Amino acid sequence: MNSLEERVLAEIEARSDDLVALAGDLIRFDTTAREPDDPPRDEAALQRYLGDRLGTVGAEIDIWEPAPEDVAGSRLVPPGLAFEGRPQLVARFPGTGTGRSLLLNGHIDAVSVEPRERWTSDPHTPVVRDGRLYGRGAVDMKGGVAAMTFAAETLARLGVRLDGDLLVNTVTDEESTGAGGVASVAHGVGADVGIVTEPSGFDVWVACRGSLMPTITVAGRPGHAGLPQPHWREGGAVNAIEKAALVQEALRRLEEEWQTRADNQHPYLAPGEIVPTLVAGGEWIVSYPASCSISYHVAYLPAQADEAGWGNAVERELEEQVARAALADPWLAENPPQIAWATDVPAAEISPDEPIVQTMLAATHDASRPGQVAGMNSWHDGATYTHLAGTPCICFGPGPIEAAHTVDEWVAVRDLVDCARAVALAAMRFCGSG
């Protein structure tokens, strides 16, 4: 490392308490992920807080509320989703114009705190215990947002003028739809590459799985459950729950096939999965159920996606599997299951040979937290920027992802500091620093 890099690392180390305070401030804002019709919470106040901080150290601040038409037609976003009270933010530190630009991205929403009564302390009140910062969003991903913000602030405070632009972009709605990322791309946010500071445990994630969320509804025929029933062709009742089990078994077999199929293997990701997550069926305890619905979370690999990352081929494969199962059962053959598709979350990957991957690996090594190339079996906003903005993104951030969405969510204080150090180094090296 050169003397300027050493100075930046030492500054972040010396001001680690300020970084923890920043992460704690973000936790105090209630930005719980929403249903489409929920009123805004503290999203606007959080974005203003970050905008004020970054503006104070010289960033050009743009905070805006997207229009519904900015995200209309996206397969990620439910129709009619609006952004009143939920603005997006991009803070730009202009470079000299001679280097490559870098986007730092993070989402400000966090999942529900329920069951709240199981938390050791108030989930919206940050607490440090035994070297860990606790609170909802601590690791997913207000800790990452704090680390990338602090890295950018430190460079600016020390007068480090990068050769390329550095952008700090915080978005809403990652946990519910991905709408904030889509809206940011529509607004023109993009760069040569991006780093999303999701909790990667200091590994460099170069790939993520996509996901589909179908609900399959199977019809039955109601009748008295306490009476013997004639054959259904003679007007007898049909148990929709039992018929839905045939569909469930067919999809279980397909998932089993995926585990060994060549197009469902990846060096950094687990094979695709078809997981039943919600079941609803029946009307009365002594009546044959008239219908049964099963909702699924279907994870698929980049190789199963189309060029834009979407799961059209996976949709067709599931539909064909369900249709084959229905044809094998006389009732279902005449009363085919109905499939309703919700949002599609795109898969994405970039080459491990991309310069930002090697830059990030070297930076985290020099920040004393070596990592390796890996992948995220879930999804992150970087997929949106990779596909829609032409900004190839990696994930790199503090903490273990296993701590996300849990009761007593936490991130290690040491992880926050080392992440900020590594991101600052990566920015200097990728963008150039004179």
**Residues forming the active site:** 109, 174
**DSSP calls for 346-384:** --EE--TTSHHHHHHHHHHHHTT----EEEESS--THHH
Residue 389 three-state SS: helix
How far is Cα 392 from Cα 343, in angstroms, rounded to an integer?
Answer: 22
Pairing of strands 132-134, 127-129: antiparallel
* Cβ count near 84 (within 10 Å): 10
The tokens of 217 are what?
Answer: 């509804």
Instruction: Tell me the residue type at 152.
Output: A
The tokens of 141 are what?
Answer: 């991903």
H/E segment holding residue 280:
strand 273-281
How far is Cα 86 from Cα 82, in angstroms, rounded to an integer?
Answer: 9
Is 375:266 a contact under the CB 8 Å cutoff? yes
Is 383:75 a contact under the CB 8 Å cutoff? no
**DSSP calls for 114-128:** -SGGG-SS-TTS-EE
Pairing of strands 210-219, 291-300: antiparallel
